[in-house]
Amino acid sequence: MKNLEIAACAAFGVESVTKRELAKLGIADCPAVDGRLIFRGDMADVIDCNINLRTADRVLIKAAEFRAETFDDLFDGVYSVNWRDFASADQKIAVAVKSVKSKLSALGAVRGVAKKAVAEKLKKSYGLTGNLDESGSVMKIEVSLKNDVAALWLDTSGAGLHKRGYRALVGAAPLRETLAAAVIMLSVWNPDRVFADLFCGSGTLPIEAAMIGLNMAPCMNRTFDMCGWKFFDRRVFDDAVEKARAAVTPRELRVYGFDIDESAVSLARKHAERCGVEKHIHFQRQDFRDFSSKQRYGVIVSNPPYGERLMNQREVRGLYRDLGEKFFSLKDWSCGIITSYYAFESAFGKKADKNRKFFNSNIECRFFQYLGAKPPEKHQ
């Protein structure tokens, strides 16, 4: 399938990072529309994006777009698509719905009408009667309504792309892998510099850093919903996976993860082993107040407690005060902290050089960056 309209979905605040990733894949013309980077390409591009994008949530293909002010409009528009081009006779059809400023705002009713239209068209196309079998693989169709215009998108990813496959369990306040990769890529860290997470929890930030340092594609070891679709080309997929594996670049990394909770550190080690990067990360049980380093130009990237779930406001303010004192004692280091705490800069002891807004599990956060001295050229 060629000349497809494709969308790489990115969380709020992450779009610019995802756009840079797409450029590295050779996709330059991709304007951002409502958290989606839109571009044209073929199934090889869809496959490459699913395997290689670190910061995208999922990859979609547009099947149709039409005006839909009534349920009859919706049924006719969905029915007009030649679903046989996309789906087999036994496809399991799942429909998700979004509606913004549209007359069709009853999501359950929209879902029912859309699924009925797809089913009726498939039955006619395949000469079937009765109900569809739906014993095959899942095809998730998103009906996105905005200003009475319906767009139909096929979700090629299935499970979100943050599900790399290495994180079997999570700690008390998990950070999504896609957001972890985004903040690392926004930081000043590169593989020649020390990376330290002083609140590593289940290990997501150090593991994502190691994957970036090794040029390891984040999703080369998982499958996607598209793998069970009628028009899926297994040969193209296998070639893309093989190319991604060949691109992994072994190198020496100085990546460290610390946490005061021994069970969290143990879980982080297990996740690193599942990912295949355990040899590149040193995990250790340690209070951040005890951290020290003689190395220069290191970068701290951490997701400490916010005071939302694990600590009260007084405790979290004291934690940030101590964290600031620790950071300012490190010569030439840089630091990036994710937090929702409203008075972080005051508690930390200095206004950040940069900050950017994100959402972590629906909690509004900011990524505060403090930039140390630039290292010699060989470290940059």
pLDDT (tens digit per residue) in 12-69: 999 999 999 999 999 999 999 989 999 999 999 999 999 999 999 999 999 999 999 9
Instruction: Determine contact, residues 277/353, Cβ cutoff 8 Å.
Output: no
Q: Classify residue 28 as exposed, middle or buried by CB count within 10 Å of its CB (0-12, 13-18, 19+).
A: exposed
Contacts of 207 (CB under 8 A, 6+ apart): 166, 268, 271, 272, 275, 277, 281
Q: In what order do the strands lie in the sheet with 36-41?
A: 32-33, 36-41, 4-10, 56-67, 149-155, 138-146, 92-100
pLDDT of residue 223: 95
Q: How far apart are CA 193 and CA 380, in angstroms?
A: 8
| Mean per-residue pLDDT pooled into runs of 10, the chain (380 residues) | 92 95 95 94 97 98 98 98 94 96 97 97 94 93 98 97 87 81 98 97 97 98 94 95 97 97 96 97 98 96 77 85 96 96 95 94 92 79
Encode pLDDT of 28-39 as tens digits: 999 999 899 999
d(CA 254, CA 256): 7
Q: What is the DSSP letter of 374?
A: P
pLDDT for the residue 55: 98
The pTM of the full predicted model, rounded to 2 decimals, is 0.93
d(CA 16, CA 7): 14
Report the interhelical angle of 204-213 vs 262-275 (nearest 10°).
30
